[in-house]
Amino acid sequence: MLEKWFWLPDFASDMGIWEDDLEGIDPGADHSFVSYESMVPYMDHLFDMPGIAEASVVVGWGLGAFLMLKNAEKRPKGQMWKLLSPYADYCSEQGNWTPENLSFIAHQTVTAVEATLNALYEPIENEFGDWQDDWLKKARSMSPELMFQGLEYMARNRIETPIAGLDNVQVLYGKLDQAISPAMTLELKDMLPGVEFKERPKAGHWPPMLLF
């Protein structure tokens, strides 16, 4: 049977921009890359999104991984998960933002989107490779209103209690990640009993490095 992979993006992104690289993880599979704008309306009910419940593998990156965990009670039985740079709280003390600062920048997005994107780009601009420039170019084409909604969600939501029964789940994170620090991801260890955590020592934030 043909494997079906479903790819959920981080904030203001679309992993389809790296489609040629990412499909190499399973060249014979059917791959569906979801844009950030398509994901935002489903943040509170992720598994109502068309196609996700039928997928054999779901890859979530950053915000996409966080939404998978927030909606874990609806996960289809037997579905494999790969969580790239997930977190329990985007506004953790281990990160770059407080809830107040992130909420402020969310509201700023509607009228000054370039300033918001520059603030988010700054921590990652010196990461290895050109993936951060790919992200910025894609983000500039997205709806400021949907960016606002995503940032507000990230500012007010967190995972505070363990999520039991998550088998067939792998967490991958980059030691050099400047957007979501390894310490932010490792805050999930107590929340995800039995889940495999794997550090990529030469990787930063970007999926092509995290998966290969």
Among 29, 48, 27, smallest CA distance to 39 is for 48
Tokens 């300033």 label which residue?
A: 115
Could you tell me the domains of the chain?
A: 4-211 (3.40.50.1820)
What is the dihedral sign for C-alpha 122, 115, 208, 163? positive
Tens digit of pLDDT for each residue in 110-154?
899 999 999 999 999 999 889 999 999 999 999 999 999 999 999
Task: Give me the amino acid identity at 124.
Answer: I
Q: Kindly report, residue by residue over 76-93, the tens digit of the pLDDT.
A: 999 999 999 999 999 999
For residues 48-53, average pLDDT:
97
Q: Which helix (H) or strand (E) segment is 4 a member of?
A: strand 4-8
